[in-house]
Structure 1
Amino acid sequence: MRKLTALLSAAAAVAALSGASASAASDTAAPEDTGQGKLAWTSCNDSATPALQCAMLDVPVDYAAPHGRKIQIKVNRLPATAPKDKQQGPILLNPGGPGDSGLWMPAFISGQIPQDLASTYDWIGFDPRGTNGSEPHVVCDASYFNGERPDYQVSQGTSKAWLTKAAGYAADCTADWSWLLPHMTTVDNARDMDSIRRALGAKQINFYGGSWGTSLGSTYGQLFPSRVRRMVLDSIVGPSISWYDHNILQDQEHQRRFDAFAAWTAKADSVYHLGTDAASIEQAYHQVEAALRTDPVDAAPAPGKIGPAEFEDTFYGGGYNFLRWPRMATVLSAYVTQHDTRPLNIAYNRYAAPGADDGTFPAYNAVQCTENNWPRDWEYWKKDQARVNAGAPFYTYNNMWYNAACMFWPYQGNQAGRLKVTGKGLPPVLLFQATEDAATPYQGGLAMHDALPGSKLVVQTGGSFHEILFHQNPCLDDTFTAYLRDGSLPTGKGPIAKTCAPEADPAPVYVTPPPATTAKTATPATATTPLAPTDPEAVHGVLR
């Protein structure tokens, strides 16, 4: 009853929220008096980057009531060291999510460009409101992702279990966080960025954002165009597509990436011994998934078991980073040819195992469920998703259940909940997009270029990384560097100003587990404790 009461009472806020969203959309010049605090920098005590400084910033829960209840945003910076007359101001950084931590970014990204240039910027990372080291850190159900969870495939009769689970999650969130959840949208986070700008004492900011960070950046630019100096958007969310429709594009693109993985593995039969055609590889995938339905694998040190849902979660990340393919192929080969489950356990703990709580999932729902008017009828979802699944069975039902809480989320706006992006008053924005990106499909880059007059679009034809900068591709990285150095932009005419070649496919190798590594010693890496940015298998900015 507590959950039901919370949902019903929260639903009464929907109309008010929609009005607030419309108001936010028309406000392009928020008042300077927003009630935010000051930044008191102290050492982050980071032994790898001793110069890194940390601070907490007070910001309003509701920017319409700037002197009301406050929350705190965790911020860090790597200060500029160039002479004052050479400095170019702060560059705020966001990796996506929604809700992923940006605190790793100042040290990492500044290390990817020439140091004479890096020294001219103050590199600013932050944790979005309600996430990670910001206060409060919203937790709705700490065990939500623990294995073994219900099978994603509706053919297995688990729909009722998933509907109950998703509705319960929405109710758990609402029961404890109804005062904050309606104020965790992209617009709210963009206003937090402007609070950071003011606290830094800067008239303008520079910005780099990837994945959902492109939505955050374009939203900031729409609200505060005169406060943008330079902006880079990498792997782009279309500015007007609904989140529900965006997920359908993801399903279709993830199918293409899985097919590409299968074709790549088939060419390496001498390594993986799974067959010489893509159909054989996909058959092996389904063989392992079927076996896990009756005989799940111990997930330790992660909690619970690795069943079919956990198995799917281990594999979908290959659509974000194809450097995971050798390990993924090894998982199938080891299981099918030797019934060796160690590679599966290790891959799951590296890629998909849950952290100590539900991580950034509350923020993900608070953004996506709140900003659009999602379908509320399960019968509609069932029919529509079956249509999508017919052409894209690899990811459709996985993605559907990941987003199912939006069916029950009490705070729902409509398409106006996302600002219309026009680019009016913005300087030229530099856009990067890969044609084979599964998480933010290619159409988004084209749509953002159309929405931002004066923007320049760099396309990696055949590229598939999600967030394509900083993979040692000079064509891409040098373009970024030139823009940050002096505002230089590609000179090509037409919709695409520059094209770059993709990286080479990884070498097919069998990733043998280290002799000392067992199921008891594998180390989980999750959305809350991600793989290090320098790990070639790392994925950041995961937009489901």
Structure 2
Amino acid sequence: MRKVIALLSAAAAVAALGGVASAAEPDTATLEDTGQGKLVWSSCNDTATPALQCAMLDVPADYADPHGRKIKIKVNRLPATAAKDQQQGPILLNPGGPGDSGLWMPAYISGQLPKDVASTYDWIGFDPRGTNGSDPHVVCDAHYFDGERPDYQVSRGTSKEWLKKAAGYAADCAADWSWLLPHMTTVDNARDMDSIRRALGVPKINFYGGSWGTSLGSTYGQLFPRHVRRMVLDSIVGPTISWYDHNILQDKEHQRRFDAFAAWTAKADAVYHLGTDAAAVKQAYDKVEDALRTTPADAAPAPGKIGPAEFEDTFYGGGYNFLRWPRMATVLSAYLTQHDTRPLAIAYNKYAAPGADDGTFPAYNAAQCTENAWPRDWEFWKKDQAKVNATAPFYTYNNMWYNAACMFWPYQGNPAGRLKITGKGLPPVLLFQATEDAATPYEGGLAMHDALPGSKLVVQTGGSFHEILFHGNACLDDTFTAYLRDGSLPQGNGSIARTCAPEADPTATYITPPPTLTSKAATAPTPLSPTDPEAVHGVLR
């Protein structure tokens, strides 16, 4: 804690380093020479997509000092194959996070489109600065997410443990990465996108972003509107809301999605035997969590144990993707009706187990904690979050502790908030939003539509996927395709240009563990790939 307090005393000086730009900065003020390097493409040696090319791009660590210290951004490209006169330039892709890798996206998203459209673009993926294959890959505490972690629920007396853990994480980050962390904001990443544009040698780019990628895209559009040709934002972060307040909206929407899961499971009592009403299913959930407080389950092949915190992490992803519901219901059923922890271990390893280090968590904190003036007083958090928890107990304290490092984060470069989005100078932007999205609630889509004159908003009424394109919904995907093909936009009147129906609920199925899993703590499958139907993209916590 003393280390954190000392770091906080330097926050004002660090804020002056320029990590967050002024909302008034026009793209005409941006010099052509920003210190970026050149893209030298070579094969990615991807056997599934042999045409995929990779490169590393030098960019300034601090754009206020373009010829100072450099970092590298990992970029890949699936080149256009159409005739030159039919090509439409590069489309940069970002799945969210903050910090998620976009390298899987060129092959996957181009593969979802008709060939006559996909072949006209250069599909560009990249790893945001400080993450994944970019250099350096920032690691603050490689074991931060190792189980078993303290219970999330404040009623269990773990608040002091979590405060110490969050403060320590902020201190560890600052101790090793003070030269880079203030420059890992959304604005810095948007400037990296423009460095990629410059290195590609093109006057304009196209862009598709989901989740935090919508904040990244709208920020790029605000800084460099004349360099945008087409832009698609899917599952939208509101342009003005603080990250702290955004989390509260998430808590309320995740409660609604958990209620929907409980109701769906109750209808399938013949399959899961957890009760015929939603209240009974919620009681089953609470019963399993209480049991794990007493006897944590083996997490193998992940290290450690599955206690209440790991259990909650396994379940909250159902708010992002309801194709997880059959597996989630199976976890409860197997535990309570057969005393079988194998489905829990499998689900945990697929959905929630930590990787080799703290992954994109440094990037998440570097963006969100830095871009707003977060509350610093634990007493405020405790009282305010208790009010939220009273009506949204499923996710509130899980989400609170995930974001608690922002109480101690030493870099707050823009107390006024994130870059103001006005849409001035942008071409029409195509927006997609589901009404039941838990991670980026519906209000964000409406607010972005209001902020971007000329934008067109497509709403999936009753939809709940987080990032709603590419799930086989023709109404949504065909609208996206038409826009990429020739710029066509839906022409509906009013604030919503087009309304699409939701996908059907999944079929209730008991997912029996593979026969090779003979013990109750047997080796579970590997985590999901980004293209698996149960996968979640752009996990904005």
TM over 0.5: yes
1:283 maps onto 2:283 in alignment: yes
| TM-score, structure 2 as length reference | 0.98
Where 1:93 maps in the other structure, the secondary structure is strand
Q: Answer yes or no: is the 8 Å Cα contact 2:4–2:168 preserved in 1.
A: no
TM-fit CA distance, 1:10: 4.0
Instruction: Give how far 1:14 is off.
Output: 4.6
- Is the aligned partner of 1:393 residue 2:390? no
What residue number does 1:137 align with?
Answer: 137
The equivalent of 1:305 in structure 2 is: 305
The equivalent of 1:442 in structure 2 is 442
**How far, CA to CA, are the matches of 1:14 and 1:61 in structure 2?**
14
2:367 match: 367
Match of 2:173 in 1: 173
Q: CA offsets, 1:228-253, max 9 Å, x none?
A: 00000000000000000000000000
Q: What corresponds to 2:98 in structure 1?
A: 98
Task: Determine if the alignment matches structure 1 residue 409 to structure 2 residue 406.
Answer: no
Return the letter of the residue paired with 1:541.
Answer: G
**Residue 383 (1) aligns with residue 380 (2):** no
> Cα offset for 1:224?
0.3
1:2 is displaced (CA, Å) by: 8.7
The amino acid of 1:532's aligned partner reads S
User: Counterpart in 1 of 2:253?
Assistant: 253
Q: 2: distance between equivalents of 1:38 and 1:255?
A: 47
Number of equivalences: 538
Hey, what does 1:232 align to over in structure 2? 232
Counterpart of 2:523, as a letter, is: T
In the TM superposition, residue 532 of structure 1 has moved relative to its aligned partner by 2.0
Counterparts in 2 of 1:511 and 1:10: CA distance versus 1, 3 Å? farther
Helix, strand or coil for the counterpart of 1:467? Answer: coil
Q: What is the CA–CA distance in structure 2 between the aligned matches of 1:163 and 1:2, rounded to whole Å?
A: 13
Does residue 530 of structure 2 align to residue 533 of structure 1? yes
Asked whether the equivalents of residues 242 and 415 of structure 1 are also in contact (C-alpha less than 8 Å), the reply is: no
Tell me the CA shift for residue 273 of structure 1: 0.3
Deviation of the 1:25 alpha carbon? 4.9
Which whole-Å CA distance do the structure 2 matches of 1:185 and 1:21 have between them?
7
Secondary structure of the residue aligned to 2:235 is: strand
Alignment of 1:84 onto 2:50: no
Partner SS, residue 390 of structure 2: helix
Distance 1:105 1:11 in 2: 36
Contact 1:22 1:417 in 2 (8 A): no
CA distances 1:111-169 after superposition (whole Å, capped 9, x unpaired): 00001110000000000000000000000000000000000000000000000000000
Aligned to 1:28: 27
Q: Which residue of 2 aligns with 1:293?
A: 293
Residue ranges of structure 1 left out of the alignment (5+ in a row): 526-530
Partner of residue 523, structure 1: 525
Question: Which residue of structure 2 lines up, in the alignment, with residue 122 of structure 1?
Answer: 122
Counterpart-to-counterpart distance in 2, 1:416 and 1:391: 29
| Secondary structure in 1 matching 2:249 | helix
How big is the shift at 1:272?
Answer: 0.2
Secondary structure class of the residue paired with 2:437: coil
Runs of 4+ in 1 over 6 A off after TM superposition: none
* Aligned-residue offset at 1:11: 2.5
Distance 1:505 1:415, change over 3 A: farther
Aligned-pair identity (%): 86
Q: CA deviation at 1:22?
A: 4.9
CA contact (8 A) 2:4 2:408 kept: no
Q: Is the 8 A contact 2:148 2:310 kept in 1?
A: yes
Query: Equivalent residue for 1:493?
Result: 493
- 1:222 aligned partner: 222
**Contact 2:71 2:136 (8 Å CA) reproduced:** yes
> What's the offset of the Cα at 1:21?
2.8
In 1, distance between residues paired with 2:9 and 2:525? 42
Instruction: Say whether residues 1:419 and 2:419 are aligned partners.
Output: yes
Superposition deviation, residue 484 in structure 1:
0.0
* AA in 1 matched with 2:122: D
1:57 aligned counterpart, secondary structure: strand
Task: Provide the residue aligned with 2:323 in structure 1.
Answer: 323
Q: Secondary structure at the match of 1:416?
A: coil
Matches within 5 A, 1:35-74: 35-74=35-74
1:533 Cα deviation from its structure 2 partner:
3.1
Q: What do the CA deviations read for 1:398-421 (whole angstroms, capped 9, x no partner)?
A: 000000000000001345341111
Alignment partner of 1:429 is 2:429: yes
Letter in 2 for 1:539: V
1:528 paired residue number: none
Structure-2 change in CA distance of 1:15 and 1:100 (3 Å): closer
Once the two structures are superposed, residues 164-222 of structure 1 have per-residue CA deviations (whole angstroms, 9 ceiling, x without a partner) of 00000000000000000000000000000000001011110000000000000000000
8 Å contact from structure 1 (residues 130, 363) kept in 2 = yes
User: Partner residue of 2:352?
Assistant: 352
Classify the secondary structure of the residue corresponding to 1:210: strand
Partners of 2:308 and 2:259 in 1: how far apart?
19
Where 2:229 maps in the other structure, the secondary structure is strand
**Residues 15, 414 of structure 2: 8 Å contact kept:** no
CA contact (8 A) 2:4 2:410 kept: no
Please tell me whether the aligned partners of residues 19 and 184 of structure 2 are also in contact (alpha carbons under 8 angstroms): no
The answer on whether the counterparts of 1:207 and 1:217 sit within 8 Å (CA) in structure 2 is yes
* Residues 25 and 372 of structure 1, relative CA distance in 2, 3 Å threshold: farther
Q: Secondary structure at the match of 1:264?
A: helix
Deviation at 1:535, TM superposition (A): 1.2
Indicate conservation of the 8 Å contact 1:372/1:417, yes or no.
Answer: yes
Q: Which runs of 5+ in 2 are unaligned?
A: none
Distance in 2 between residues matched to 1:15 and 1:217, nearest whole Å: 23
SS in 1 for 2:504: coil
Is 1:334 the equivalent of 2:334?
yes
TM-score (norm 1): 0.97
The amino acid across from 2:218 in the alignment is S
Q: 1:164 to 1:104 in 2, by over 3 A?
A: same
| Deviation readout 1:238-285 (Å, 9 max, x if unpaired) | 000000000000000000000000000000000000000000000000
Where 1:99 maps in the other structure, the secondary structure is: coil
Note if contact 1:13-1:411 (Cα within 8 Å) is conserved in structure 2: no
Deviation of 1:327 (Å): 0.1
Give 1:90 shift.
0.1
Task: State the superposition RMSD in angstroms.
Answer: 1.3
Distance 1:219 1:415 in 2: 17
Partners of 1:236 and 1:124 lie apart in 2 by: 21
1: CA distance, partners of 2:154 / 2:146? 20
